[in-house]
Amino acid sequence: MNILLLLIVIIVLFVVFVIGIYNALVRLRNQVKNAWSQIDVQLKRRHDLIPNLIETAKGYMQHERGTLEAVTNARSQAMGAKGVAESAKAEGVLGKALSKFLLTVEAYPDLKANQNFLALQEELSSTENKIAFSRQAYNDQVLFFNNKIQMFPSNIVAGMFNFAKRDFFEIDTAEKAVPKVSF
């Protein structure tokens, strides 16, 4: 009788313990999701801005069709990307294409004086900054979450309910800015 009671108490305590960890994990996962949606908003904004930017630039930069096409292609690649890792890779390519495009723009003073283009450029560079800042917030959350599901005892609960590790949103910035301006 006593043993049974003890067993029940242990089971109840165990269940309460598991529920507690489970809830903590869910909360962390939601924070990761929330941080991701912040990035996602900015990525969408980036994708929306590009067609307008290219359209405005087209009239001025007839000889730069290659650069413009590279941006457009990278954009559709990025829009079609699924999941964090793939999307990070595609956005990295798009970022490189964009910075090359913006460097090329420097050689077109008429385009740089276009009010419409200037406004779009401001929006784009702000979006780039917002991506960078929200990326940092997201990666902090992911680090926290991944640590939690790998450490004892929460790793047991994570294993029971299939909490999977999340990917970092890493855009490699190392080889980004090497401008090649050809005249």
Partner 1 sequence: MWEQIRANKRNSILLLALMAAVLALLGWFIGRSISPDPIAGLFGIVIALIIWMILAMVSFSSGDAIFLTASKAVPVTKAVHPQLFNVVEEMAIAAQMPMPKIYIINDPAPNAFATGRNPQNASVAITAGLLGRLSRDELQGVIAHEMSHILHRDILFVTIAGVMLGTITLISEIFLRGMFYSSMTRRYSSRNRGGGQTQTIMLVIAIVAAILAPIMATLLYFALSRKREYLADAGSARLTRYPEGLASALEKISQNKTPLSVANKITAPMYIVNPLQKKGMKLSDLTSTHPPISQRVKILRGMAGASFANYSDAFKKTTKHSTPIPSSALKEETVQIRTAGPQKSVDSKKQTRDIGDIMQKTLGFSFINCSCGLKIKVPPNYKSPQVQCPRCGTVSAV
Kindly tell me which of 73 and 136 has the beta carbon lying closer to partner 1. Answer: 136
| 182: Cα separation from own chain's centroid | 32
In the region spanning residues 21 to 80, those forming contacts with partner 1, defined by CB under 8 A, are 38
**In the complex, least distance from residue 129 CB atom to partner 1, rounded to whole angstroms:** 5
- Which stretches does DSSP call E strand in the chain? none
**In the complex, least distance from residue 125 CB atom to partner 1, rounded to whole angstroms:** 7
DSSP 174: T
Task: Check binding of 89 to partner 1 (CB under 8 A).
Answer: no
- Binding-residue pattern over the window 109 to 148 for partner 1, x denoting contact by CB under 8 A: ------x---x--xx-xx--xx--xx-xx-----------
- For every residue of 4-48, DSSP letters joined together read HHHHHHHHHHHHHHHHHHHHHHHHHHHHHHHHHHHHHHHHHHHHH
**In the complex, least distance from residue 99 CB atom to partner 1, rounded to whole angstroms:** 11
HSE, side-chain direction, 13 A CA sphere, residue 116: 9
**Binding residues for partner 1, per CB under 8 A?**
38, 115, 119, 122-123, 125-126, 129-130, 133-134, 136-137, 177
